[in-house]
Chains A and B, each alone.
Chain A
Amino acid sequence: MNAPSLWGSALLLREGRAAAWRPWAWGALQLALSRGPVVQAAGKSSSLRLVQLSEAELREQFVRGDGPGGQATNKTSNCVVLKHVPSGIVVKCHQTRSVEKNRKIAREILQEKVDLFYKGEESDVFKEKKASEKKKQEKKRRAKENLERKKHFKEMLQSEEIK
């Protein structure tokens, strides 16, 4: 995982919007997201043993503009950009139309990426990916075998008819 270039590309993602990007600021510590300083990501990553991220290590950025916010603004850009400072890994999440959900998902994705970054092949994320790839290949192989068997059977029938 190359930290500096990822961060660099995140800045260029929206051309011409550099002025709207605010300097990295603390994300408000969401009690709903984490009990205490450790981020416990929900969803599938909770079944894996992953590196725990602490909010103190994260920097969050929202394209919400410099205005007063709240009622006075009706902007729909609720994309979340989340950076893990120690590793430099940046995640950009715009999966949903809810800022709160994007923040949660960004943390889940970031946690997986950070885990991969530090643990490499020892990471549960890596192992799970390998396992599912293997399963896929196995399925493909079996499907191919079935197809061959059917073909062979058909040929047999045809040759019997000729006889």
Chain B
Amino acid sequence: MRCLAPSLLRSFRGLVPQYVSAGPGRNPVLSLKQLPLRHSCSASPGLMTAPDVISYWQKVFEENGIPEARESSEYIVSFVLGAKTFQSLDSGKVHTPLTAAQQEQIQQLSCKRLERMPVQYVLGEWDFQDLTLKMRPPVFIPRPETEDLISLVVEEESRKCEGKKNSAFSVPPPVILEIGCGSGAIALSLLCKIPQSRVLAVDKEDAAVDLTKENVHRLQLQDRIHVLHHNVSYGSAQQLLPWGPMDFIVSNPPYVFHEDMASLDAEILRYEDLDALDGGDDGMRVIKTILTLAPSLLKDSGSVFLEVDPRHPDMVEDWLCAHPDLLLTLRAIHKDFCGKPRFLHIQKQSR
């Protein structure tokens, strides 16, 4: 697990503007309406509604160079009021003055955001498709693109089922291996969307294994998933075979090009496990490991689904051509919702 070295972190902190202490003259707009940050909990609690508080914190975030000032403020206030987003907030609650306790909680959460903590860690939870999952630094936060990865696997599984419907054999429930499970987003979504599937989820970090297990228990899915502390780069396929052979290997492996790591946002660099992101010089290190491992773990015609950087599809195709012994074919490249090539479907040729 890697986080920024203390020396690097210190220089980062030096770059972050200090909190706004809106005294008189510092920021006339703020001081007119609100009390300084440290006194906000003693402001008359009866006067501020959700929109007031959202606007207040949005301004504070903007003053302090916090990205997504409006969104961050909305998520925090909505969370304290029991809603996921501002748009989904009960219309009654929108106009009800906030209690002092609620304002206090909002302030505590906003202080964390002022330290560039990602909103998902501030709230300690985030949603992935239909699931609400616990989030905790430094375990990697699921990205919205990855939601589409689930749909691809589900589609392929139903296509396989359709194909086998008329055969004499009953279709056994699929066995799925997820490499690098993080918070468990992919594994748990697949379990929910593919009834009776079984998942083996592995991660090289204890923190990720623990968090995935917590999310498994929150969703009461422990009878269908096994979470294992395992490093695919240094372990061997043998250790995973008892759970196989697998129908699917699914992964959102670290795929950022090493040279791009330094330009990532502070939210990522300061709080997320950099090993979950850094894919080495060409971003392919873990991708190659997974593809090398796949043939010994997959059933014939089994599939690998990977999320990758938009530059990777061609690189992976070339690499597979250079390693014909793996008997893997690039079946399809799928785009994400922003139109970028993002997902690879690779299949093990049947002998």
Query: Chain A interface (Cβ within 8 Å of chain B)?
Result: 14, 25-28, 30-32, 60, 62, 64, 68-78, 93-101, 103
Query: Across the interface, which residues of A come within 8 angstroms of B141, CB to CB?
Result: 74
Residue B84 lies at the interface, judged by CB distance under 8 Å to chain A: yes
Complex partner residue of A27 from B119, B120, B337, CB under 8 angstroms? B337
Which listed residue, B72, B130, B145, B255, touches A101 by the CB 8 Å rule? B130
- Of the residues B70, B140, B264, B337, contact of A62 by C-beta under 8 Å: B337
- Interface 9-mer from B26-34, B194-202, B236-244, B338-346: B338-346
CB nearest neighbor in B for A94:
B87
Verify if B10 is at the interface (C-beta below 8 Å from A).
Answer: no
State how many angstroms separate the Cβ of B201 from the closest Cβ of chain A.
Answer: 18
Question: With A73-B265, A75-B68 in contact, is A94–B85 under 8 Å at CB?
Answer: yes
B61 at interface by CB-CB < 8 Å: no
Query: What are 17 A-to-B residue pairs whose CB atoms are below 8 Å?
Result: A25-B339, A31-B155, A69-B145, A69-B340, A70-B307, A71-B143, A71-B256, A71-B309, A72-B260, A72-B268, A72-B309, A73-B143, A73-B265, A74-B118, A75-B67, A98-B128, A98-B129
User: CB distance A99 to B337 under 8 Å?
Assistant: yes
Q: Which of B15-23, B35-43, B146-154, B225-233 contacts A (4 or more CB under 8 A)?
A: B146-154
Contact partner, A97, options B67, B127, B140, B272, Cβ 8 Å: B127
B84 and A103: CB pair below 8 A? Answer: no
- For the complex, give the distance between the alpha carbons of A26 and B338 in Å: 8
Residue of B with least CB distance to A17: B70
Q: A28-B336, A68-B260, A71-B255 are in contact. Are A100 and B148 (CB under 8 A)?
A: yes
Instruction: Tell me whether B120 and A76 are in contact (CB under 8 A).
Output: yes
Taking the closest CB of chain A, its distance from the CB of B102, in whole angstroms, is: 20
B342 and A76 contacting across the interface, CB-CB below 8 Å: no
In this complex, the interface size class of chain B, counting residues with CB under 8 Å from chain A, is 35 or more
4 residue pairs, one from A and one from B, having the closest CB atoms: A32-B151, A97-B127, A99-B144, A100-B147
B57 at the interface (CB under 8 A from A): no
| B277 CB-CB contact with A under 8 Å | yes
Residue of B127, B252, B310, B338 with highest tally of chain A CB at under 10 A = B338
* Contact across chains for A76 and B339 when beta carbons are under 8 A apart: no
> A55 CB to closest chain B CB, in angstroms?
12
CB under 8 Å from chain A, chain B span 48-88: 67-68, 70-72, 75, 84-88
- Cα separation A71 to B127 with both chains bound (whole Å): 16
B256, A25: Cβ atoms closer than 8 Å = no
Bound CA–CA A98/B151 (angstroms): 14
Question: Within the complex, what minimum Cβ distance (angstroms) separates A84 from chain B?
Answer: 18
Which of B86, B130, B265 sits near A98, CB closer than 8 Å?
Answer: B130
Contact in complex: B147, A99 (CB < 8 Å)? yes
Establish whether residues B119 and A76, one from each chain, have CB atoms under 8 Å apart when the complex forms. Answer: yes
Q: Which residue of A lies closest to B125 (CB)?
A: A97
Q: A69-B338, A70-B307, A71-B277 are in contact. Are A31 and B130 (CB under 8 A)?
A: no
- Known: A74-B267, A96-B85, A101-B130. Is A69-B336 also a contact (CB below 8 A)? yes
Q: Which residues of B contact A77 (CB under 8 A)?
A: 68, 71
Verify A98–B309 contact, CB threshold 8 A: no
Residues of chain A within 8 A of B129, CB atoms compared: 98, 100-101
Chain B residue nearest in CB terms to A15: B70
Which B residues touch A101, using CB under 8 A?
127, 129-130
A70 CB, nearest partner CB in chain B, Å: 5
The residue of chain B having its C-beta at the shortest distance from the C-beta of A77 within the complex is B71
Q: Provide the residues of chain B in CB contact with A76, threshold 8 Å.
A: 68, 71-72, 75, 118-120
- Would you call B255 and A30 a contact (CB within 8 A)? no
Bound together, the chains give a CA A73 to CA B340 distance in angstroms of: 14
Q: Which residues of A contact B267 (CB under 8 A)?
A: 74
CB of B285 closer than 8 Å to a CB of A? no
The answer on a CB contact under 8 Å between A78 and B88 is no
A99 to B337, CA, bound (A): 9
Q: Could you tell me the distance between the alpha carbons of A101 and B84 in the complex, rounded to whole angstroms?
A: 12
Q: How far is the CA of A77 from the CA of B143 in the complex (A)?
A: 11
The residues of A that contact B140 with a CB separation of less than 8 Å are: 71
CA distance in complex: A134, B75 (Å): 36
On chain B, the residues within 8 Å of A30 by CB distance are 148, 151, 337
B71's nearest neighbour on chain A, judged by CB, is: A77
Residues of B within 8 A of A94 (CB): 85-88
User: In angstroms, how far is the closest chain B Cβ from the Cβ of A96?
Assistant: 6
